[in-house]
A and B are shown apart, each in its own frame.
Chain A
């Protein structure tokens, strides 16, 4: 019974933490957020250098076969620093492609991070789930719309969800594809709308269970990110409470503040074990994975928003400014809560899975 990360996973976590800490200090963060929303190339290259796209594909598929938990730990750190890259999406597309055909010509470029791939699943109206994908493919061509696609402007490939719970690859220069950027609330993961007009696509040969597993993995990686977001909100709030003075004392001396902060920590800390279990289930207990993924995502993405909002209250007026860094976390947490389905919608699905 070893319910903990391995030494290698801790080392990976530490190395990504050092890298992101140096690249995403608060002042830099705000400036990047304002000046250049979109893919942070610097961070992207550093994450690729760590080997993240290689983590999920098995060794036979040309990867490292290190499992989802390893990738989730990396995602947690990226959430903690609100890193502006689509690394989680990218790794899932790589895995889907490798499952489809380990010799696919697009894989080497994607594994090396020279090309970028993202997910295109949402169709609006809360239709994120594989069972809700309605985009129709006819004779290898797509007509329709996909929404809320992150980093579309930077992507070389899109993994599009089709009716019948299927996945297809679309290249960015495919004919009839129009990408419209949306003025995004979350500038660390800016979104676009994709419109397909007779756009060629290649349907991946995947079993329904494999498509489901990719979706579950997306939920779990997002849950891990949101745990990082939540932890960050707690930690900067504690720091603030130990530095800000009012009424002749540190505000952290007031019991109301202490209790607010303790309640924030109380909500966030148990989430670590929850996402670890879900990632481990994906790796080792497949029959539990779909439910564990939903429980982790619904629980943690909700708490990340609650905690970020609570952090704003702890900070007072300054956190209402664009200039102060906190809204970056708040908005990312808000995005993660909606993306792949709101918690209540996911829970409704989970109850169905358990035959309640």
Chain B
């Protein structure tokens, strides 16, 4: 058991730190051009887009789980930007590396990594949420184009996306619903694509409905084979999976909650002095640390190239359960401040009522990316090997 890194990794860490000292200036964090050039430098130095091939704008370095962890830690310390977030860099680009044709890689990867191309994920439909494989959006090959008709929902940032990667039904006479699905790339800026933003319960406009009416895309904008879409979409290509990121985030949130409890006053005293609040925070801390240290274990197993077993199926639900407990305590600490809807504007920074976004947002976290009930099914069936339930469709 050793939480430290060896001399080789300590040396690597020193290099990362030196790079950041030389190349990152937090004061310029709002300058988009500066940030873009920093990302380019950092990629050239091997710190960002590490596993993407050089010819497509990546660093092209061999996966090293511990190096990746060191980079995350040091970048976070100075609040240097990591890879661009979003569907394009996180999902589409890795999928193209694994399944894309050379033309698709050439055309899309570099501009996705640079942020020029923004992608929407066209998966869920009103009738296909947890049962995603039952999706109905159809694509028919007509000449040298796919013609697509249907509707997608929960499509994050669709209104600002250039492209969509979508799961659509192309095959009919096949053995299973999964075998009928293909993975298509679609140009969002064409007539026939209608984006309708949906407002979530915490305000703003995080996600959308997307209506597709005779939308067209070139025949060779299919990733993988016809009917292979389900497997293509499952490609994780996570050579350097972030085993501790969410858990470290949970600890940060917990520490922030403790700080808020020290400043909010309940019945004439700081909330942190209430035995009830202290007990709730103490219980939560057990879960947060158990989750965090389980992340350390998974990081270690990843570095060994081994499976961490059932614990790796528990990350999402552990995270979202922690989110629920945070929401509960935040409400107790904020008391009537939790009745104020936080307003973010150039001339107004909200007070602690900004925790309302966490209180409501924790519900989204439980549902998006596989609901908690689905997570429990996965743990039970794939982890504990309990008999699988047969689908009826």
- Chain A interface residues toward B at CB < 8 A: 1-6, 69, 238, 241-242, 250, 252-253, 255, 257-259, 261-263, 265-266, 269-274, 276-277, 280, 283-285, 295-296, 298-299, 344, 347-348, 350-351, 356
Contacts and interface: CB of A to CB of B under 8 A. Distances in A.
Contacts of A4: 1, 297, 300-301, 304
B290 A3 contact: no
A265 B383 contact: yes
A79 to B, nearest CB: 17
Nearest to B312: A269
A6 B5 CA distance: 16
Contacts of A269: 294, 310-311, 314
Nearest to A351: B278
A270 B1 contact: no
Interface string B372-393: 0100110111011111010000
Contacts of B318: 266, 270
Contacts of B3: 1, 3, 280, 284-285
26 contacts: A1-B3, A1-B4, A1-B69, A2-B1, A2-B300, A3-B300, A250-B387, A253-B386, A257-B386, A261-B384, A262-B383, A265-B314, A265-B379, A266-B321, A266-B376, A269-B310, A270-B291, A273-B290, A274-B289, A277-B289, A295-B285, A299-B286, A348-B282, A350-B282, A351-B278, A356-B261
B48 interface: no
A259 B381 CA distance: 10
B220 interface: no
A271 B287 CA distance: 9
B258 interface: yes
A255 B378 CA distance: 11
A161 to B, nearest CB: 24
- Nearest 3 A/B pairs, CB to CB: A299-B286, A347-B282, A273-B293
A339 B65 CA distance: 41
A18 B161 CA distance: 59
B376 to A, nearest CB: 4
Given A295-B286, A344-B282, A356-B261, 10 more contacts: A2-B1, A3-B297, A258-B384, A259-B376, A266-B318, A270-B293, A272-B311, A276-B297, A277-B296, A356-B262
A261 B69 contact: no
Interface residues of B, number: 51
Interface of B: 1-5, 9, 66, 69, 258, 261-262, 272, 275, 278-279, 281-283, 285-287, 289-291, 293-294, 296-297, 299-301, 303-304, 310-311, 314, 317-318, 321, 373, 376-377, 379-381, 383-387, 389
Nearest to A285: B3
Contacts of A242: 385-387
A258 B377 contact: yes
A230 B282 CA distance: 21
Nearest to B70: A1
Most chain A beta-carbon neighbours within 10 Å: one of B5, B293, B300, B381: B293
Contacts of B304: 4
A280 B1 contact: yes
Given A1-B5, A347-B282, A273 B386 contact: no
Contacts, number: 146
A242 B283 CA distance: 33
Given A4-B1, A6-B1, A274-B293, A266 B387 contact: no
A272 B295 CA distance: 12
A270 B386 contact: no
By secondary structure, the B interface counts as helix
Most chain A beta-carbon neighbours within 10 Å: one of B4, B290, B291, B373: B290
A3 B302 CA distance: 11
Nearest to B285: A295
Contacts of A272: 294, 297, 311
B383 A3 contact: no
Contact of B380 (A1, A261, A284): A261
A348 B73 CA distance: 32
Contacts of B296: 1, 3, 273, 277
A201 to B, nearest CB: 35
A73 to B, nearest CB: 10
Contacts of B291: 270
Nearest to A249: B387
Most chain B beta-carbon neighbours within 10 Å: one of A238, A258, A274, A348: A258
Most chain A beta-carbon neighbours within 10 Å: one of B2, B286, B301: B286
Contacts of B321: 266
A265 B301 CA distance: 20
Contact of A253 (B286, B317, B387): B387
Contacts of A252: 386-387
Contact of B310 (A69, A265, A274): A265
A262 B300 contact: no
Contacts of B293: 3, 270, 273-274, 276-277
A266 B317 contact: yes
A175 B258 CA distance: 52
A347 B283 contact: yes
A258 B304 CA distance: 31
Contacts of B380: 258-259, 261-262
A265 B311 CA distance: 9
